Amino acid sequence: MKEKQDLGEQAISTAAEVGLKSQLDEADNLEVDVRTDLGKLVQGELESVEIEGNGLVMEKDLRTEELDVDLDSIAIDPLKATFGDIELKHPTDAQVHVVLTEKDIERAFNSQYIKHKLQNLPIKVDGKKTTVNAKKVNFTIPDNQKIALSAETEIVETGETKQVAFTAVPKTTEGGNRVSLENVEYSQGKKASPELTKALLNSASELLDLRNFELEGMKLRLQKLYLQKEKLTLEAEAHVEEFPD
């Protein structure tokens, strides 16, 4: 259990919570825990800031099961801090922990934003050019090594329905911004056109772009990712230039 905050810590924490919530579409729970003492506050120093969130809905209808941010030794404007305004004197670094469930990612795949990208896809079927619409997409994390994607597709010209299903291994991309899906293996009898597979992989990579999880004034760089059944965990380093007002 966290130690009780004094009035100064509470004021700064509450102001930060309001600023953060203004950037989110939804939040089941969001807490900011600021730690300092009066002497350090007068000198413009915070010992630590911890942000803990659950059920936060970010950009592209992407929900995070958990989002934790930890900052240490922060230099601030002491006068503004007394009014609950955290203004950084210089940028600071933080550690970020993000947990996504398979249901969170599947929900984002079936959002209007991604579904629009999976419509009227030009592909080849049996050597002939045609157009495909991807309908419902299913996303699962069956174990600690790979993810599984399947989708029901409709050939626009004929109305014929086909299924595509494959597994892939998530890996960090060069530069540390996105998660890419590699080592694609199709389920038996479910092989699809390269164009359709690429569209699904690109959508997954777009959803797992760390910039979707950046708050105002924050830049993320992915360090590690972990899979466990039904969950994907991302560990990142954040460069924080400002706190949200």
Q: How confident is the model at residue 191 (pLDDT cuts 50, 70, 90)?
A: low
User: Nearest Cα to 63, choosing from 110, 95, 18, 19?
Assistant: 110
**What's the predicted TM-score (pTM) here?**
0.85
What 188-194 contacts at long range (C-beta under 8 Å, 24+ apart), as own/partner pairs, is 190/150, 190/163, 190/164, 190/165, 190/166, 191/164, 192/153, 192/162, 192/164, 192/166, 193/123, 193/124, 193/125, 193/132
**pLDDT, mean over the chain:** 86
**Sign of the C-alpha dihedral computed for residues 22, 28, 177 and 47 taken in this order:** positive
Q: Which residues 6+ apart lie within 8 Å of 172 measured at CB?
A: 178, 179, 180, 222, 224, 225
Q: Are 26 and 56 in contact (CB under 8 A)?
A: yes
Question: ∠ CA(79), CA(83), CA(85), 5° rounding?
Answer: 85
pLDDT at residue number 5: 65
Instruction: Please write the tens of the pLDDT for every residue from 49-104.
Output: 899 999 999 877 889 999 999 988 788 887 777 666 778 888 889 999 999 999 99
pLDDT in tens, 140-180: 999 999 999 998 888 888 888 888 889 999 998 877 778 88
